[in-house]
Structure formats: structure tokens, C-alpha cells
């Protein structure tokens, strides 16, 4: 039975979609059907298609009572919107259906696990949101909330665990047919921890243990965990709130954290070996992964930043929020690598290619422009004994605007900069990332692949060892590209239009 609240949302999004049909949007990044989008939810492969749900407030381009939006795709790039899947329509989720995940049950049904939010009045009259974990079962279109909801509440918390910060379940099915799930939580001292739960059937859940704890290292509350095996290692990803930087890792604010280590399944013991940021740009949060049928681990994040998402470009009124590119993950030498999904190659149109372009100062190259492009730059110094001081590529450029990526080999720092991208606010416009030197970046050798899709740039450095993502909302007619060198650079460029 569909509730009136869900029926209203479905009617509204259909009507609005027609009205805003001509609006500019990203082309191959999923954006909200109408209104607001945040975290990716329920990323799964079901009945021959990838399903992506998302935190959704259809009625305005700002965060509000959370619904789950829904879209499907066969190639992770061409998305088709489906009717909203969940609405805040029950006692236990009346103030929001927060983030969660999905699995396919052995009987072919699609099981969603999400956080139900309901406000509780405090002794001083203020309210606080109580968070519990809930289920909904469906067929890829319509979902029925489980009669036994909530399936995890404060009774399933470890001592001191907060019932107000208990959210974002990510569940998966084990080889033996039973289920595990991780959730974000925090201690009485507001320190992040990841909790592990088990279930024989996906419906009856039991607390197991604290899988990982922050110990005041990386921000405060840990949101949106995911936990999976990859290339002989175990990976825990989470999105900590309120981070402070550590050197060039972990920018201020809500960021992303990847812990790589080992895992003993019998005792559910995760031993950390290394940690890193997942994305070094400005806009990336709350990523979630799916295991593709061919064994690839693919990740999509929300390509926005909580501290700037109330500052919309005036031109974009009816929708806000987009997902990142789907990224194929691997672990190499103890680090997480990310590459754009290979499906993107099928979208490549005309190729424009230059080799051994030696230059200094500013150049433009015929045929190198565009706002929906896949462009790879291979950079080296002309003279190994006299390495250039700075290289930059400027894109989304016209007389007034530009966004840029620059690299300084002496510092081994790559930077994304969008301060000339139309912003009128005193917010973060640049982010820098220290590039490890093993492959010679100090000698001025670097590979930079840039994917543009109207309102975003995702920069993959040295075959995905570092990624910097940033959104910008200048008019897509600003599509110029130019290159700059302080010193002498030699560059290969290959660029494809994406359509």
C-alpha cells in the first residue's frame, strides 16, 4: 500500500519534471529528478540494472524531510528516473528516511535497509532526532515497509552509543547466505564508531561488536560506512563530520576516510593498516559501493559539500545535487585507486590528439575545448635538468570565468581552483593535494585525466592514485580550454567529447 505522502511526492515529481524539462543539467552524472539530492543510497544491481536511490527532498532545492529518490541504469551513466521509493510516512520515520543500502534476497525481492528518524521532545522543550534502522521490501519499483520496523533501535547499541547518531546501515549478503551490516554511531563523548550487526535472513538483526573506532583521530561522528574486501585487503570507508586537516590529508569539514587493513571473518576483527582521504577536491561525500556482476567494486559519492550546498547558483532553481562519476576501485601498494568506470569509454565521441607539444606561457590547441569531455594530459619537462615551475590547465573558460588544475613539481602539489567560476561567496575555492613522488612527479612527470560534465570536474591523477572533484555552476557556454607553463613543458593531450 502506497501512502498518501508517497503518492503526493510521486505526483509532484512527475508534474515538475515536465515543467523543467529544458533545464541545463549534468548529462552522465545522476542529478535529482526535482528538488534536493544528497547521499547515494541502496546502490545495487537488481533485475539486470543498477539501482541508485538517493536522499531526496522533491519539494525544494534545499534539504528537507528525507524521501528516497530512485533511478536505474544499465551502464551507470545513462540514468532513468523512477518514482520516489520511500517517503517519511510512518511513526518511526516521520521525520525522514535517512541513508541506507540494498541487497537482493534469495527469493528475488529487493531489500532496502535505511534509517528511520523521529523527533523526540527533550525536557527543555527542544527536540532531538532518534534514529533507528528499518527495512522495506520491493520489486524494483514499489517498496513496502516491513511490519517489524524498526529492526534495530537503542536496545542494539553498545554501552554509551548514541541513539541520536545511529544511522546509514550498509548491508551485504555473505557467502553462507547470512547477512552483516555496518552502521555509523558515536560514543557518549561524540566520537565516531562503526557498529557491526548480523542477521540469518536480512530481517532479524543482532548486535555483534564495535568494528572500528575513531579514538578522536578523524573528525567526530562517522557517517555512511561501507566495508568490503578488495585486492586481498579489507576496506572500510566512512564520512567523518567535523574534520581538521592532517598535513595534506583530511580537509576541514565533513570529509571522507578510507581505512585499509585486514579482516578475520571468524572473529569479525578488522585491523587497520593505513588511512587516507578518498577524494582531495572540494565536493565529495558519503560514497557508497556496489559489487558489479563482473566482480568490479564500483563507488559513487555525493558530489557536493555540506558547507556550501545552501549557496546555489541563481540560474539553477529547480534541482540541486549530483552524484560523482562511478569509479572502479582497486588497492595498489596499500592505497585506494579510483578510475572512471570503463563504460565511459563507450560515450567517447570525436578524438582530438596532440603529441609532444612543447610550450611555455599560454597556449590553446585547436579542437581542445568543451564542457562534456574526457581529456588526458601527460606532462613532462622539456629539459630534465631544468624542470618547469608550474603547469596549469584552465577549462570552463570564457572572457570572465575559468576553473583550473595546476601542478608545481618542486612542491609535488596539484591544486584545483574554482575561485573564478562565478562564486560571490567567501567559501573554499581551492584544494591542494600532495602527489607521492615514487613515479617521478618531483621530476615534473604527471598524468592528469579530467572529466567535465557541464557543472563538475573530476581530476584523476596518475591513473587514479588521487582524485579531486569539484562542482562549479557557470553557464555551460564557457567551454574554452587553455594551458599554461612557467618554464618549458612537453605535453601529450588526448580529448574526447562525451555524449
Residues near ligand FRU, by CB under 6 A:
38-39, 55, 66, 98-99, 115, 167-168, 223-224, 285-286
Residue 226 annotated in active site: no
Whether the Cβ atoms of residue 266 and residue 275 lie closer than 8 Å to each other: no
How many Cβ atoms from other residues are within 10 Å of residue 439's Cβ? 14
Q: How far apart are CA 394 and CA 377, in angstroms?
A: 12
* SS3 assignment for the chain: CCCHHHHHHHHHHHHHHHHCCCCCCCCCCCECCCEEEEEEEEEEEECCEEEEEEEEECCCCCCCCCEEEEEEECCCCCCEEEEEEECCCCHHHCCCEEEEEEEECCCCCEEEEEEEEEEEECCCCCEEEEEEEEEEEECCCCEEECCCCCCECHHHCCCCCCCCCEEEEEEEECCCCCEEEEEEEECCCCCEEEEEEEECCCCCCEEEEEEEECCCCCCCCEEEEEEEEECCEEEEEEEECCECCECCECCCECCCEEEEEEEECCCCEEEEEEEECCCCCCCCEEEEEEECCCCCEEEEEECCCCCCCCCCCCCCCCEECEECCCEEEEEECCEEEEEECHHHHHHEEEEEEEEEEEEEEEECCCCCCCCEEEEEEEEEECCCCCCCCEEEEEEEECCCCCEEEEEECCCCEEEEECCCCCCCCCCCCEEEEECCCCCCHHHCCEEEEEEEECCEEEEEECCCCEEEEEECCCCCCCCEEEEEEEEEEEEEEEEEEEC
Closer CB to ligand FRU, residue 302 or residue 407?
302
b/e map 5-27, b = 16+ CB within 10 Å: bbeebbeebeebeeeeeeeebbb
Whole-number Å distance between alpha carbons of 143 and 136: 6
Q: Considering the candidates 8, 39, 142, 307, report the single residue annotated as catalytic.
A: 39
Compute the least distance from the CB of residue 151 to ligand FRU, in Å. 16
In which region does residue 427 sit, left (phi positive, over 0), alpha (psi from -120 to 50) or beta (all else)? beta
Long-range contacts of 197-201 (CB under 8 A, 24+ apart): 197/152, 197/156, 197/169, 199/171
Nearer to ligand FRU, 270 or 285 (CB): 285
Cα 445 to Cα 435: distance, rounded to the nearest angstrom: 11
Active site residue ranges: 39
Amino acid at each position: 500500500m502506497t501512502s498518501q505522502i508517497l503518492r503526493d511526492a510521486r505526483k509532484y515529481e512527475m508534474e515538475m519534471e515536465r515543467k523543467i524539462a529544458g533545464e541545463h543539467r549534468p548529462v552522465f552524472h545522476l542529478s535529482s529528478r526535482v528538488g534536493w539530492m544528497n547521499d547515494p543510497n541502496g546502490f545495487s544491481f537488481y533485475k539486470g540494472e543498477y539501482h541508485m536511490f538517493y536522499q531526496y527532498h522533491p519539494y525544494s532545492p534545499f534539504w528537507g524531510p528525507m524521501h528516497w529518490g530512485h533511478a536505474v541504469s544499465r551502464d551507470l551513466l545513462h540514468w532513468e528516473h523512477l518514482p520516489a521509493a520511500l517517503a517519511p510516512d510512518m511513526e518511526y520515520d516521520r521525520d525522514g528516511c535517512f541513508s541506507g543500502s540494498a541487497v537482493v534476497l534469495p527469493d528475488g525481492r529487493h531489500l532496502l535497509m535505511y534509517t528511520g528518524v523521529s523527533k523526540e521532545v527533550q525536557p527543555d522543550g527542544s527536540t532531538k532526532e532518534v534514529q533507528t534502522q528499518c527495512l522495506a521490501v520491493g520489486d524494483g519499483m514499489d517498496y513496502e515497509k516491513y511490519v517489524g520496523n524498526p529492526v534495530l533501535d537503542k536496545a542494539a547499541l553498545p554501552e554509551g552509543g548514541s541513539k541520536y547518531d545511529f544511522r546509514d546501515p550498509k548491508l551485504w549478503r555473505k557467502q553462507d547466505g547470512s547477512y552483516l551490516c555496518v552502521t555509523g554511531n558515536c560514543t557518549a563523548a561524540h566520537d565516531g564508531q562503526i557498529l557491526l550487526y548480523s542477521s540469518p535472513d536480512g530481517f532479524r538483526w543482532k548486535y555483534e561488536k564495535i568494528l572500528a573506532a575513531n579514538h578522536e583521530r578523524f573528525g567526530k561522528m562517522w557517517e555512511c560506512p561501507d566495508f568490503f574486501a578488495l585486492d586481498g585487503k579489507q576496506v572500510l570507508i566512512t564520512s567523518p563530520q567535523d574534520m581538521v586537516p592532517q598535513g595534506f590529508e583530511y580537509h576541514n569539514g565533513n570529509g571522507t576516510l578510507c581505512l585499509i587493513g585486514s579482516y578475520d571473518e571468524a572473529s569479525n576483527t578488522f585491523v587497520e593498516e593505513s588511512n587516507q582521504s578518498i577524494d582531495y577536491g572540494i565536493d565529495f561525500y558519503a560514497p557508497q559501493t556496489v559489487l558489479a556482476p563482473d566482480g568490479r567494486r564500483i563507488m559513487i559519492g555525493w558530489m557536493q559539500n555540506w558547507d556550501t550546498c545552501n549557496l546555489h547558483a541563481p540560474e539553477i532553481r529547480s534541482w540541486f545535487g549530483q552524484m560523482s562519476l562511478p569509479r572502479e576501485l582497486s588497492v595498489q601498494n596499500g592505497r585506494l585507486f579510483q578510475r572512471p568506470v570503463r563504460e565511459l569509454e563507450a560515450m567517447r565521441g570525436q578524438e582530438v590528439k596532440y603529441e609532444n607539444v612543447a610550450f611555455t606561457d599560454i597556449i590553446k590547441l585547436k579542437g581542445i575545448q568543451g564542457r562534456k569531455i574526457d581529456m588526458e594530459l601527460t606532462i613532462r619537462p622539456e629539459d630534465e635538468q631544468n624542470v618547469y615551475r608550474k603547469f596549469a590547465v584552465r577549462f570552463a573558460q570564457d572572457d570572465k570565468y575559468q576553473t583550473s588544475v595546476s601542478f608545481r613539481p618542486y612542491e609535488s602539489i596539484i591544486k584545483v581552483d574554482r575561485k573564478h567560476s562565478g562564486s560571490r561567496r567567501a567559501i573554499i575555492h581551492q584544494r591542494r593535494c600532495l602527489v607521492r613522488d615514487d613515479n617521478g612527479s618531483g621530476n615534473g612527470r604527471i598524468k592528469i585525466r579530467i572529466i567535465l560534465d557541464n557543472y563538475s570536474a573530476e581530476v584523476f591523477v596518475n591513473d587514479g592514485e588521487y582524485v579531486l572533484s569539484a562542482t562549479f555552476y557557470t553557464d555551460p557556454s564557457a567551454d574554452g580550454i587553455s594551458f599554461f607553463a612557467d618554464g618549458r613543458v612537453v605535453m601529450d593531450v588526448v580529448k574526447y567529447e562525451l555524449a
